[in-house]
Structure 1
Protein backbone atom coordinates (compact mmCIF):
# COMPACT_ATOMS: atom_id res chain seq x y z
CA UNK A 1 0.00 0.00 0.00
CA UNK A 2 2.81 2.43 0.77
CA UNK A 3 3.90 2.36 -2.87
CA UNK A 4 0.60 3.97 -3.90
CA UNK A 5 0.95 6.71 -1.31
CA UNK A 6 4.54 7.37 -2.39
CA UNK A 7 3.50 7.46 -6.03
CA UNK A 8 0.77 10.03 -5.40
CA UNK A 9 3.11 12.12 -3.24
CA UNK A 10 6.01 12.07 -5.71
CA UNK A 11 3.74 12.89 -8.63
CA UNK A 12 2.25 15.81 -6.74
CA UNK A 13 5.70 17.15 -5.77
CA UNK A 14 6.91 16.91 -9.39
CA UNK A 15 3.91 18.84 -10.65
CA UNK A 16 4.33 21.46 -7.94
CA UNK A 17 7.94 22.04 -8.99
CA UNK A 18 6.97 22.39 -12.61
CA UNK A 19 4.11 24.76 -11.90
CA UNK A 20 6.15 26.99 -9.59
CA UNK A 21 9.11 27.47 -11.90
CA UNK A 22 11.48 25.03 -10.19
CA UNK A 23 12.18 23.42 -13.54
CA UNK A 24 14.00 24.91 -16.51
CA UNK A 25 11.48 23.29 -18.83
CA UNK A 26 8.69 25.51 -20.15
CA UNK A 27 5.56 23.41 -20.52
CA UNK A 28 2.97 23.91 -23.24
CA UNK A 29 -0.73 23.91 -22.37
CA UNK A 30 -1.07 20.42 -23.83
CA UNK A 31 1.77 19.15 -21.63
CA UNK A 32 0.29 20.73 -18.50
CA UNK A 33 -3.07 19.11 -19.22
CA UNK A 34 -1.44 15.76 -19.92
CA UNK A 35 0.49 15.89 -16.66
CA UNK A 36 -2.68 16.73 -14.72
CA UNK A 37 -4.38 13.74 -16.35
CA UNK A 38 -1.42 11.49 -15.56
CA UNK A 39 -1.38 12.60 -11.92
CA UNK A 40 -5.00 11.51 -11.56
CA UNK A 41 -4.42 8.23 -13.43
CA UNK A 42 -1.13 7.39 -11.70
CA UNK A 43 -2.86 5.09 -9.20
CA UNK A 44 -3.51 2.54 -11.97
CA UNK A 45 -3.32 -0.35 -11.36
CA UNK A 46 -4.78 -1.09 -7.91
CA UNK A 47 -4.92 -4.88 -7.98
CA UNK A 48 -6.92 -5.23 -4.78
CA UNK A 49 -9.94 -2.91 -4.52
CA UNK A 50 -9.76 -3.02 -0.72
CA UNK A 51 -6.42 -1.17 -1.00
CA UNK A 52 -8.54 1.94 -1.56
CA UNK A 53 -9.32 1.87 2.17
CA UNK A 54 -5.71 2.91 2.84
CA UNK A 55 -5.34 5.39 -0.02
CA UNK A 56 -5.97 9.10 0.35
CA UNK A 57 -6.53 11.31 -2.67
CA UNK A 58 -6.57 15.07 -3.12
CA UNK A 59 -8.25 16.89 -0.20
CA UNK A 60 -9.64 20.41 -0.21
CA UNK A 61 -12.00 22.57 1.87
CA UNK A 62 -14.96 20.40 0.83
CA UNK A 63 -13.75 17.65 3.19
CA UNK A 64 -14.76 17.77 6.84
CA UNK A 65 -11.91 17.42 9.32
CA UNK A 66 -12.63 13.84 10.37
CA UNK A 67 -13.82 12.58 7.01
CA UNK A 68 -11.41 10.08 5.47
CA UNK A 69 -13.28 10.35 2.18
CA UNK A 70 -14.96 7.91 -0.18
CA UNK A 71 -13.56 6.51 -3.42
CA UNK A 72 -16.10 6.20 -6.22
CA UNK A 73 -15.05 3.61 -8.80
CA UNK A 74 -17.33 3.19 -11.80
CA UNK A 75 -17.24 1.79 -15.31
CA UNK A 76 -19.62 0.69 -18.04
CA UNK A 77 -19.57 -0.72 -21.54
CA UNK A 78 -22.04 0.56 -24.15
CA UNK A 79 -22.82 -0.65 -27.63
CA UNK A 80 -25.24 0.19 -30.39
CA UNK A 81 -25.67 -2.33 -33.21
CA UNK A 82 -27.19 0.12 -35.69
CA UNK A 83 -28.86 3.52 -35.91
CA UNK A 84 -32.29 2.00 -35.34
CA UNK A 85 -31.23 -0.24 -32.46
CA UNK A 86 -31.14 0.89 -28.79
CA UNK A 87 -27.94 1.77 -26.98
CA UNK A 88 -27.33 -0.88 -24.31
CA UNK A 89 -25.05 -0.08 -21.36
CA UNK A 90 -23.96 -2.34 -18.53
CA UNK A 91 -21.75 -1.20 -15.70
CA UNK A 92 -20.92 -1.03 -12.03
CA UNK A 93 -20.44 1.77 -9.53
CA UNK A 94 -18.83 1.18 -6.12
CA UNK A 95 -18.70 3.60 -3.18
CA UNK A 96 -15.64 2.63 -1.11
CA UNK A 97 -16.06 4.39 2.23
CA UNK A 98 -12.76 4.85 4.08
CA UNK A 99 -14.52 5.85 7.31
CA UNK A 100 -16.37 2.59 7.97
CA UNK A 101 -14.47 0.41 5.47
CA UNK A 102 -17.67 -0.68 3.78
CA UNK A 103 -18.53 -0.84 0.11
CA UNK A 104 -21.94 -0.44 -1.45
CA UNK A 105 -22.94 0.06 -5.03
CA UNK A 106 -25.10 -0.94 -7.97
CA UNK A 107 -24.82 -2.91 -11.16
CA UNK A 108 -26.74 -0.88 -13.72
CA UNK A 109 -28.29 -1.94 -17.02
CA UNK A 110 -29.54 0.88 -19.25
CA UNK A 111 -31.44 0.76 -22.53
CA UNK A 112 -31.77 3.98 -24.53
CA UNK A 113 -33.97 3.86 -27.63
CA UNK A 114 -33.67 6.26 -30.61
CA UNK A 115 -37.04 7.88 -29.81
CA UNK A 116 -36.31 7.84 -26.03
CA UNK A 117 -39.81 6.42 -25.41
CA UNK A 118 -38.61 2.91 -24.62
CA UNK A 119 -35.81 3.89 -22.27
CA UNK A 120 -35.20 1.54 -19.35
CA UNK A 121 -32.82 1.52 -16.39
CA UNK A 122 -32.50 -1.28 -13.85
CA UNK A 123 -30.22 -1.23 -10.80
CA UNK A 124 -29.07 -4.31 -8.88
CA UNK A 125 -27.51 -3.65 -5.44
CA UNK A 126 -24.07 -5.03 -4.63
CA UNK A 127 -21.56 -5.05 -1.79
CA UNK A 128 -17.92 -6.05 -1.53
CA UNK A 129 -16.29 -8.40 0.95
CA UNK A 130 -12.76 -9.86 0.83
CA UNK A 131 -12.20 -8.04 -2.45
CA UNK A 132 -15.14 -9.87 -4.06
CA UNK A 133 -18.15 -8.08 -5.51
CA UNK A 134 -21.30 -9.75 -4.21
CA UNK A 135 -24.83 -9.35 -5.65
CA UNK A 136 -27.58 -8.65 -3.10
CA UNK A 137 -31.11 -10.05 -3.40
CA UNK A 138 -32.85 -11.85 -6.22
CA UNK A 139 -31.87 -11.22 -9.83
CA UNK A 140 -31.51 -13.15 -13.09
CA UNK A 141 -28.70 -15.70 -13.12
CA UNK A 142 -27.05 -13.92 -16.07
CA UNK A 143 -26.89 -10.65 -14.11
CA UNK A 144 -25.57 -12.40 -11.01
CA UNK A 145 -22.74 -13.99 -13.03
CA UNK A 146 -21.86 -10.69 -14.67
CA UNK A 147 -21.57 -9.05 -11.25
CA UNK A 148 -19.47 -11.84 -9.73
CA UNK A 149 -17.07 -11.81 -12.70
CA UNK A 150 -16.86 -8.03 -13.03
CA UNK A 151 -13.47 -6.34 -13.17
CA UNK A 152 -12.38 -2.73 -13.54
CA UNK A 153 -9.51 -1.69 -15.75
CA UNK A 154 -7.98 -0.04 -12.65
CA UNK A 155 -7.46 -3.55 -11.25
CA UNK A 156 -5.39 -4.82 -14.15
CA UNK A 157 -3.61 -2.20 -16.24
CA UNK A 158 -1.51 0.95 -16.16
CA UNK A 159 -2.64 3.84 -18.36
CA UNK A 160 0.97 4.66 -19.16
CA UNK A 161 2.70 7.77 -20.51
CA UNK A 162 0.16 9.82 -22.45
CA UNK A 163 2.89 11.80 -24.24
CA UNK A 164 3.88 8.60 -26.05
CA UNK A 165 0.43 8.32 -27.63
CA UNK A 166 -0.63 10.08 -30.82
CA UNK A 167 -2.86 12.98 -29.79
CA UNK A 168 -5.71 13.53 -32.27
CA UNK A 169 -7.30 16.64 -30.82
CA UNK A 170 -7.76 18.70 -27.69
CA UNK A 171 -10.32 21.15 -26.40
CA UNK A 172 -10.04 23.47 -23.40
CA UNK A 173 -12.49 25.83 -21.74
CA UNK A 174 -10.77 27.46 -18.79
CA UNK A 175 -13.85 29.46 -17.80
CA UNK A 176 -15.87 26.34 -16.93
CA UNK A 177 -13.13 24.89 -16.48
CA UNK A 178 -13.16 21.79 -18.75
CA UNK A 179 -10.25 20.02 -20.43
CA UNK A 180 -10.41 17.20 -22.97
CA UNK A 181 -7.85 15.35 -25.07
CA UNK A 182 -8.31 12.52 -27.57
CA UNK A 183 -5.57 10.01 -28.45
CA UNK A 184 -5.20 7.17 -30.90
CA UNK A 185 -4.71 3.71 -29.39
CA UNK A 186 -2.91 1.10 -31.45
CA UNK A 187 -4.68 -2.24 -31.68
CA UNK A 188 -1.98 -3.84 -29.48
CA UNK A 189 -2.00 -1.10 -26.82
CA UNK A 190 -2.36 -2.71 -23.38
CA UNK A 191 -5.57 -0.94 -22.34
CA UNK A 192 -7.06 -1.40 -25.81
CA UNK A 193 -6.30 -5.13 -25.65
CA UNK A 194 -7.87 -5.33 -22.18
CA UNK A 195 -11.18 -3.91 -23.46
CA UNK A 196 -11.04 -6.06 -26.62
CA UNK A 197 -10.54 -9.24 -24.59
CA UNK A 198 -13.13 -8.43 -21.94
CA UNK A 199 -15.90 -7.43 -24.35
CA UNK A 200 -15.09 -9.70 -27.32
CA UNK A 201 -14.13 -6.92 -29.73
CA UNK A 202 -12.12 -7.70 -32.85
CA UNK A 203 -8.56 -6.40 -32.71
CA UNK A 204 -8.59 -2.85 -34.03
CA UNK A 205 -7.45 0.69 -33.34
CA UNK A 206 -9.43 2.73 -30.83
CA UNK A 207 -9.65 6.27 -29.51
CA UNK A 208 -8.89 7.25 -25.91
CA UNK A 209 -10.92 10.29 -24.83
CA UNK A 210 -10.06 11.90 -21.47
CA UNK A 211 -12.18 14.61 -19.88
CA UNK A 212 -11.51 16.58 -16.70
CA UNK A 213 -13.58 19.30 -15.07
CA UNK A 214 -12.35 21.55 -12.27
CA UNK A 215 -8.94 23.10 -11.76
CA UNK A 216 -5.97 21.21 -13.18
CA UNK A 217 -4.25 21.19 -9.78
CA UNK A 218 -7.16 19.20 -8.37
CA UNK A 219 -10.61 19.65 -6.87
CA UNK A 220 -13.08 17.32 -5.17
CA UNK A 221 -15.84 19.19 -7.00
CA UNK A 222 -14.46 18.24 -10.40
CA UNK A 223 -14.11 14.86 -12.05
CA UNK A 224 -11.95 12.96 -14.53
CA UNK A 225 -13.15 10.11 -16.68
CA UNK A 226 -11.96 8.40 -19.83
CA UNK A 227 -13.54 6.47 -22.69
CA UNK A 228 -12.08 3.93 -25.09
CA UNK A 229 -14.17 4.11 -28.25
CA UNK A 230 -14.54 1.92 -31.32
CA UNK A 231 -16.07 3.27 -34.53
CA UNK A 232 -17.07 6.52 -32.75
CA UNK A 233 -18.35 8.17 -35.94
CA UNK A 234 -20.28 5.16 -37.23
CA UNK A 235 -23.61 3.51 -36.48
CA UNK A 236 -22.16 0.44 -34.72
CA UNK A 237 -20.53 2.43 -31.95
CA UNK A 238 -18.98 0.72 -28.91
CA UNK A 239 -17.16 2.29 -25.98
CA UNK A 240 -15.83 1.56 -22.51
CA UNK A 241 -15.83 4.28 -19.87
CA UNK A 242 -14.20 4.35 -16.43
CA UNK A 243 -13.77 6.84 -13.61
CA UNK A 244 -12.02 6.77 -10.21
CA UNK A 245 -12.87 9.74 -8.00
CA UNK A 246 -12.09 10.73 -4.41
CA UNK A 247 -15.03 12.57 -2.83
CA UNK A 248 -16.18 13.88 0.58
CA UNK A 249 -18.34 11.20 2.17
CA UNK A 250 -21.07 13.68 3.11
CA UNK A 251 -21.78 14.27 -0.58
CA UNK A 252 -22.56 10.59 -1.08
CA UNK A 253 -24.74 9.79 1.94
Structure 2
Protein backbone atom coordinates (compact mmCIF):
# COMPACT_ATOMS: atom_id res chain seq x y z
CA UNK A 1 0.00 0.00 0.00
CA UNK A 2 1.52 3.35 -1.00
CA UNK A 3 1.85 6.09 1.57
CA UNK A 4 -0.15 9.25 1.11
CA UNK A 5 -0.17 12.68 2.73
CA UNK A 6 -3.33 12.92 4.83
CA UNK A 7 -4.87 15.95 6.47
CA UNK A 8 -5.84 14.25 9.71
CA UNK A 9 -4.57 11.48 11.95
CA UNK A 10 -5.75 9.76 15.07
CA UNK A 11 -3.96 7.35 17.34
CA UNK A 12 -5.68 4.65 19.34
CA UNK A 13 -3.58 2.52 21.60
CA UNK A 14 -4.65 -0.10 24.16
CA UNK A 15 -2.09 -1.02 26.83
CA UNK A 16 -2.12 -3.18 29.92
CA UNK A 17 -2.29 -1.41 33.28
CA UNK A 18 0.15 -2.62 35.94
CA UNK A 19 0.23 -1.96 39.70
CA UNK A 20 -2.55 0.61 40.18
CA UNK A 21 -2.25 2.69 43.29
CA UNK A 22 -2.24 6.18 44.73
CA UNK A 23 -0.61 8.20 47.47
CA UNK A 24 -1.88 8.49 51.04
CA UNK A 25 -1.66 12.27 50.69
CA UNK A 26 -5.04 13.94 50.29
CA UNK A 27 -5.30 14.66 46.58
CA UNK A 28 -8.16 15.25 44.19
CA UNK A 29 -9.79 12.51 42.13
CA UNK A 30 -8.35 14.09 38.97
CA UNK A 31 -4.84 13.85 40.43
CA UNK A 32 -5.38 10.21 41.42
CA UNK A 33 -6.52 9.38 37.91
CA UNK A 34 -3.52 11.18 36.41
CA UNK A 35 -1.11 9.41 38.76
CA UNK A 36 -2.62 6.04 37.86
CA UNK A 37 -2.23 6.73 34.14
CA UNK A 38 1.38 7.85 34.56
CA UNK A 39 2.32 4.80 36.61
CA UNK A 40 0.87 2.38 34.08
CA UNK A 41 2.56 4.14 31.17
CA UNK A 42 5.97 4.23 32.90
CA UNK A 43 6.91 0.71 31.69
CA UNK A 44 6.91 1.88 28.07
CA UNK A 45 8.82 2.02 25.81
CA UNK A 46 10.13 -1.55 26.21
CA UNK A 47 13.80 -2.12 25.39
CA UNK A 48 12.88 -5.20 23.36
CA UNK A 49 9.68 -7.09 22.55
CA UNK A 50 11.39 -10.07 24.20
CA UNK A 51 10.82 -8.26 27.51
CA UNK A 52 7.20 -9.43 27.27
CA UNK A 53 8.34 -13.04 27.74
CA UNK A 54 9.36 -12.13 31.30
CA UNK A 55 6.48 -9.74 32.00
CA UNK A 56 3.56 -10.99 34.10
CA UNK A 57 0.05 -9.74 33.35
CA UNK A 58 -3.26 -9.94 35.19
CA UNK A 59 -4.46 -13.54 35.60
CA UNK A 60 -8.14 -14.40 36.02
CA UNK A 61 -9.94 -17.74 36.37
CA UNK A 62 -9.58 -18.41 32.62
CA UNK A 63 -5.85 -19.09 33.08
CA UNK A 64 -4.62 -22.61 33.84
CA UNK A 65 -2.19 -22.63 36.77
CA UNK A 66 0.71 -23.81 34.60
CA UNK A 67 0.01 -21.38 31.76
CA UNK A 68 2.38 -18.40 31.72
CA UNK A 69 0.04 -16.64 29.29
CA UNK A 70 0.45 -14.93 25.94
CA UNK A 71 0.83 -11.24 25.22
CA UNK A 72 -1.08 -10.05 22.15
CA UNK A 73 0.16 -6.89 20.42
CA UNK A 74 -2.04 -5.37 17.74
CA UNK A 75 -1.25 -2.31 15.65
CA UNK A 76 -3.02 -0.91 12.58
CA UNK A 77 -3.56 2.13 10.38
CA UNK A 78 -7.05 2.83 9.00
CA UNK A 79 -7.69 5.38 6.23
CA UNK A 80 -10.66 6.58 4.20
CA UNK A 81 -10.19 8.95 1.27
CA UNK A 82 -13.72 10.37 1.32
CA UNK A 83 -17.11 9.74 2.93
CA UNK A 84 -18.22 7.41 0.13
CA UNK A 85 -15.00 5.38 0.04
CA UNK A 86 -14.39 2.13 1.96
CA UNK A 87 -12.02 1.93 4.92
CA UNK A 88 -8.54 0.65 4.08
CA UNK A 89 -6.93 -1.26 6.95
CA UNK A 90 -3.31 -2.39 7.30
CA UNK A 91 -2.28 -3.98 10.57
CA UNK A 92 -0.12 -6.49 12.41
CA UNK A 93 -1.12 -8.85 15.22
CA UNK A 94 1.72 -10.51 17.13
CA UNK A 95 1.32 -13.28 19.73
CA UNK A 96 4.20 -13.58 22.23
CA UNK A 97 3.79 -16.97 23.94
CA UNK A 98 5.54 -16.94 27.32
CA UNK A 99 5.42 -20.74 27.69
CA UNK A 100 7.39 -21.42 24.50
CA UNK A 101 9.03 -17.98 24.23
CA UNK A 102 7.85 -17.85 20.62
CA UNK A 103 6.41 -15.01 18.58
CA UNK A 104 4.03 -15.46 15.65
CA UNK A 105 1.13 -13.65 14.04
CA UNK A 106 -0.05 -12.07 10.83
CA UNK A 107 -0.09 -8.98 8.66
CA UNK A 108 -3.58 -8.08 7.45
CA UNK A 109 -4.77 -5.92 4.59
CA UNK A 110 -8.53 -5.32 4.56
CA UNK A 111 -11.08 -3.20 2.73
CA UNK A 112 -14.23 -2.50 4.76
CA UNK A 113 -17.43 -1.38 3.04
CA UNK A 114 -20.78 -0.30 4.49
CA UNK A 115 -22.08 -3.39 2.74
CA UNK A 116 -20.28 -6.08 4.78
CA UNK A 117 -20.75 -8.64 2.00
CA UNK A 118 -18.10 -6.73 -0.01
CA UNK A 119 -15.49 -7.09 2.75
CA UNK A 120 -12.05 -8.08 1.42
CA UNK A 121 -9.05 -9.32 3.38
CA UNK A 122 -5.56 -10.67 2.69
CA UNK A 123 -3.36 -12.16 5.42
CA UNK A 124 0.35 -13.02 5.55
CA UNK A 125 1.92 -15.12 8.31
CA UNK A 126 4.75 -13.54 10.29
CA UNK A 127 7.15 -14.70 13.01
CA UNK A 128 9.30 -12.97 15.59
CA UNK A 129 12.93 -14.06 16.10
CA UNK A 130 16.03 -12.32 17.44
CA UNK A 131 14.00 -9.18 18.14
CA UNK A 132 12.87 -8.90 14.50
CA UNK A 133 9.74 -9.63 12.49
CA UNK A 134 9.94 -11.88 9.42
CA UNK A 135 7.43 -12.66 6.69
CA UNK A 136 6.73 -16.41 6.31
CA UNK A 137 4.49 -16.25 3.22
CA UNK A 138 5.37 -15.19 -0.31
CA UNK A 139 4.56 -11.54 -0.95
CA UNK A 140 5.68 -8.46 -2.85
CA UNK A 141 8.88 -6.64 -1.92
CA UNK A 142 6.74 -3.78 -0.58
CA UNK A 143 4.97 -6.10 1.88
CA UNK A 144 8.24 -7.73 2.92
CA UNK A 145 9.85 -4.32 3.51
CA UNK A 146 6.89 -3.20 5.64
CA UNK A 147 7.12 -6.26 7.90
CA UNK A 148 10.89 -6.30 8.32
CA UNK A 149 10.99 -2.58 9.16
CA UNK A 150 7.84 -2.53 11.29
CA UNK A 151 7.92 -1.01 14.78
CA UNK A 152 5.26 -0.94 17.48
CA UNK A 153 4.78 2.47 19.07
CA UNK A 154 5.48 1.02 22.53
CA UNK A 155 8.97 0.06 21.34
CA UNK A 156 9.90 3.69 20.68
CA UNK A 157 7.85 6.26 22.57
CA UNK A 158 6.58 7.33 25.96
CA UNK A 159 3.82 9.76 26.86
CA UNK A 160 5.68 11.13 29.86
CA UNK A 161 4.48 13.65 32.45
CA UNK A 162 0.79 14.33 31.87
CA UNK A 163 0.83 17.48 34.01
CA UNK A 164 2.76 19.28 31.24
CA UNK A 165 -0.30 19.05 28.97
CA UNK A 166 -3.31 21.36 29.18
CA UNK A 167 -6.22 19.33 30.55
CA UNK A 168 -9.52 19.66 28.70
CA UNK A 169 -11.76 17.28 30.64
CA UNK A 170 -11.79 14.31 33.02
CA UNK A 171 -14.40 11.90 34.42
CA UNK A 172 -14.59 9.12 36.99
CA UNK A 173 -17.35 6.53 37.33
CA UNK A 174 -16.88 4.43 40.48
CA UNK A 175 -19.66 1.98 39.51
CA UNK A 176 -17.67 0.51 36.59
CA UNK A 177 -15.06 1.73 37.65
CA UNK A 178 -14.06 3.82 34.64
CA UNK A 179 -11.93 6.94 34.49
CA UNK A 180 -10.93 9.21 31.61
CA UNK A 181 -8.83 12.30 30.93
CA UNK A 182 -8.42 14.46 27.85
CA UNK A 183 -5.54 16.83 27.09
CA UNK A 184 -4.57 19.27 24.39
CA UNK A 185 -1.68 17.95 22.28
CA UNK A 186 0.35 19.98 19.81
CA UNK A 187 1.67 18.73 16.48
CA UNK A 188 5.24 18.56 17.81
CA UNK A 189 4.42 16.09 20.59
CA UNK A 190 6.60 12.96 20.32
CA UNK A 191 3.62 10.55 20.04
CA UNK A 192 1.95 12.69 17.39
CA UNK A 193 5.22 13.01 15.46
CA UNK A 194 5.92 9.26 15.63
CA UNK A 195 2.68 8.45 13.80
CA UNK A 196 3.10 11.33 11.36
CA UNK A 197 6.58 10.10 10.43
CA UNK A 198 5.73 6.38 10.22
CA UNK A 199 2.62 6.84 8.09
CA UNK A 200 3.46 10.01 6.14
CA UNK A 201 0.74 12.14 7.72
CA UNK A 202 0.53 15.93 7.68
CA UNK A 203 1.42 17.70 10.93
CA UNK A 204 -1.63 18.71 12.93
CA UNK A 205 -2.56 19.50 16.54
CA UNK A 206 -4.69 16.95 18.36
CA UNK A 207 -6.17 15.98 21.71
CA UNK A 208 -4.96 13.13 23.90
CA UNK A 209 -7.76 11.01 25.35
CA UNK A 210 -6.99 8.46 28.09
CA UNK A 211 -9.37 5.84 29.44
CA UNK A 212 -8.77 3.24 32.15
CA UNK A 213 -10.68 0.65 34.14
CA UNK A 214 -10.03 -0.87 37.55
CA UNK A 215 -9.95 0.32 41.14
CA UNK A 216 -7.63 3.30 41.60
CA UNK A 217 -6.84 2.05 45.11
CA UNK A 218 -6.23 -1.53 44.11
CA UNK A 219 -3.26 -3.43 42.72
CA UNK A 220 -5.06 -5.46 40.05
CA UNK A 221 -4.43 -5.01 36.36
CA UNK A 222 -7.06 -3.21 34.30
CA UNK A 223 -7.45 -2.25 30.66
CA UNK A 224 -5.84 0.97 29.49
CA UNK A 225 -6.72 2.86 26.32
CA UNK A 226 -5.55 6.11 24.79
CA UNK A 227 -6.27 7.96 21.60
CA UNK A 228 -4.83 11.01 19.91
CA UNK A 229 -7.73 12.69 18.16
CA UNK A 230 -7.79 15.23 15.37
CA UNK A 231 -10.83 17.23 14.41
CA UNK A 232 -12.22 15.36 11.43
CA UNK A 233 -13.52 16.81 8.22
CA UNK A 234 -16.70 15.25 6.90
CA UNK A 235 -15.81 12.01 5.14
CA UNK A 236 -12.13 12.16 6.14
CA UNK A 237 -11.30 9.21 8.38
CA UNK A 238 -7.82 8.23 9.52
CA UNK A 239 -6.53 6.75 12.74
CA UNK A 240 -3.67 4.69 14.08
CA UNK A 241 -4.41 2.19 16.85
CA UNK A 242 -2.37 -0.10 19.04
CA UNK A 243 -3.29 -2.47 21.84
CA UNK A 244 -1.56 -4.78 24.28
CA UNK A 245 -3.53 -7.49 26.06
CA UNK A 246 -2.67 -10.53 28.19
CA UNK A 247 -4.56 -13.74 27.42
CA UNK A 248 -4.55 -17.47 28.22
CA UNK A 249 -2.32 -19.33 25.75
CA UNK A 250 -5.08 -21.76 24.81
Normalised by the size of structure 1, how large is the TM-score? 0.80
Q: Greater relative contact order: 1 or 2 (C-alpha under 8 angstroms, separation 6 or more)?
A: 2
Cross-structure match for 1:126: 126
Number of residue-to-residue matches in the alignment? 233
Could you tell me how far 1:168 is from its partner in structure 2?
Answer: 2.8
Could you tell me how far 1:205 is from its partner in structure 2?
Answer: 0.7
Q: Deviations over 1:198-232 (max 9, x none)?
A: 11111211222333345454656x53232333334
Cross-structure match for 1:5: none
* Whole-angstrom distance in 2 between the partners of 1:186 and 1:33: 22
Instruction: Check conservation: 2:21, 2:36, Cα contact below 8 A.
Output: no
SS in structure 2 at match of 1:168: strand
The structure in which a higher percent of residues are helix is: 1
Gaps of 5+ in 1: 1-10
Counting only pairs closer than 5 Å after superposition, residues 137-216 of structure 1 correspond to structure 2 as 137-216=137-216
* Whole-angstrom distance in 2 between the partners of 1:199 and 1:77: 8
SS in structure 2 at match of 1:65: coil
Question: Residues 166, 140 of structure 1: CA spacing in aligned structure 2 closer, same or farther, 3 A cutoff?
Answer: same
* Whole-angstrom distance in 2 between the partners of 1:24 and 1:113: 52
In angstroms, what is the RMSD of aligned CA positions? 2.6
Cross-structure match for 1:240: 240
Question: Residues 225, 137 of structure 1: CA spacing in aligned structure 2 closer, same or farther, 3 A cutoff?
Answer: same
Gaps of 5+ in 2: 1-17
Instruction: Check conservation: 1:231, 1:238, Cα contact below 8 A.
Output: no
Normalised by the size of structure 2, how large is the TM-score? 0.80
Cross-structure match for 2:27: 26
* Whole-angstrom distance in 2 between the partners of 1:171 and 1:111: 35
